């Protein structure tokens, strides 16, 4: 990883990023920035390239063209575990928790980037290794309290509702103490009450833990309420960017979500309403 000069607290910086799968171009010269303290929404219809972009940012996919930097370091060709070690954590669109393990143990796995095992430490377990494990467990207990999971801390993960499992996955990402948090549809499948809970925890993570957040989400009410900026993708292209309400009202965005005819009909109705 070659160091770059950080620019105005830019946490993530993607320049002209392209990703091709054979003859399919999933990302077409995408530019995206996340600055310190921001919540940026990455939105778009199904198949627009959002999850591909997340996988590029976290090193699961290598870019075909362009450059990605994290915290001032060029990570364009960097392995996922090295990007995680820089201070980037993510959740997954489909839950990636470990069945057969407790809530506490699932969260403890989030500390893996801070664990430095060695044969010598294992040999002297009751000295250095035990002290390190206790420190990790303290961090986990603090996160369990922060995410209000005390009542289920020892429950097997498969025994808790899906909405709570989403909260556990968020806790596992946050316990890594990231500077950048990437959330891939954290509210998928949630009811209104569960959405309100997770929204509050996302805001608390930004305010109390100082995490900068890239949020991929289909619930536009949430995106409009908590994001500082929105980047809209359609078929791998950025078609709008800016303040949430402005970007989401862009005619190209309406067309991407509703189709050309429906967008034209909506525009005609809006014009008729304005003229009344």
- 1 belongs to a structural domain: no
- 5 belongs to a structural domain: no
- The whole-number pLDDT of residue 260 equals 55
Tell me which DSSP letter residue 9 carries: T
Residues 6+ apart with CB under 8 A from 179: 11, 71, 87, 88, 210, 211, 212
- The whole-number pLDDT of residue 5 equals 39
Question: In terms of Cα–Cα distance, which of 72, 56, 51, 50 is closest to 1?
Answer: 72
The CB density around residue 217, as the number of other CB atoms within 10 Å, is 24
Chain center to CA of 54: 8
- The whole-number pLDDT of residue 136 equals 77
How far apart are alpha carbons 115 and 110 in whole angstroms? 10
Q: Are 266 and 78 in contact (CB under 8 A)?
A: no
How far apart are alpha carbons 173 and 159 in whole angstroms? 20
- 269 belongs to a structural domain: yes
- The whole-number pLDDT of residue 96 equals 77
- The whole-number pLDDT of residue 141 equals 93
Chain center to CA of 210: 15
- The whole-number pLDDT of residue 116 equals 60
pTM value surpassing 0.75 = yes
Query: Could you say which residues of the chain have pLDDT below 70?
Result: 1-8, 114-132, 260-276
- 2 belongs to a structural domain: no
- The whole-number pLDDT of residue 228 equals 96
- The whole-number pLDDT of residue 124 equals 53
Q: Is 92 helix (H, G, I), strand (E, B) or coil?
A: coil
CATH number at residue 186: 3.40.50.300
- The whole-number pLDDT of residue 270 equals 47
Determine the structural domain holding residue 203 and report its residue range: 10-275
Q: What is the tally of structural domains in the chain?
A: 1
Question: In terms of Cα–Cα distance, which of 50, 55, 65 is closest to 20?
Answer: 65
- 54 belongs to a structural domain: yes
- 3 belongs to a structural domain: no
């Amino acid at each position: 990883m070659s160091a770059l000069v950080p620019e105005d607290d830019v946490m993530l910086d993607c320049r002209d990023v392209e990703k091709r799968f054979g003859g399919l171009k999933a990302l077409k010269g995408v530019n995206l920035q996340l600055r310190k303290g921001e919540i940026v929404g990455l939105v778009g219809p199904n198949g627009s390239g959002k999850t591909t972009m997340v996988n590029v940012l976290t090193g699961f996919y290598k870019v075909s063209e362009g450059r990605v930097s994290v915290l001032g370091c060029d990570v364009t060709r960097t392995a996922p575990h090295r990007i995680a070690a820089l201070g980037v954590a993510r959740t997954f669109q489909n839950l990636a928790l470990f069945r057969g393990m407790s809530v506490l143990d699932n969260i403890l796995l989030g500390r893996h980037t801070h664990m430095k095992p060695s044969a010598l430490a294992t040999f002297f377990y009751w000295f250095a290794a035990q002290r390190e494990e206790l420190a990790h467990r303290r961090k986990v207990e603090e996160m369990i309290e922060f995410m209000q999971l005390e009542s289920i801390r020892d429950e097997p993960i498969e025994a808790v509702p899906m909405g709570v499992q989403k909260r556990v996955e968020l806790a596992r990402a946050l316990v890594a103490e990231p500077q950048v948090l990437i959330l891939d549809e954290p509210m998928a499948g949630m009811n209104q009450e569960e959405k309100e809970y997770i929204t509050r925890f996302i805001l608390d993570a930004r305010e109390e833990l100082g995490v900068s957040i890239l949020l991929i989400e289909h619930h536009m009410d949430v995106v409009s309420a908590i994001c500082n900026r929105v980047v809209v993708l359609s078929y791998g292209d950025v078609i709008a960017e800016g303040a949430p309400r402005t970007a989401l009202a862009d005619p190209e965005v309406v067309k991407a979500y509703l189709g050309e005819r429906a967008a034209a009909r909506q525009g005609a109705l809006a014009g008729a309403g304005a003229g009344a």
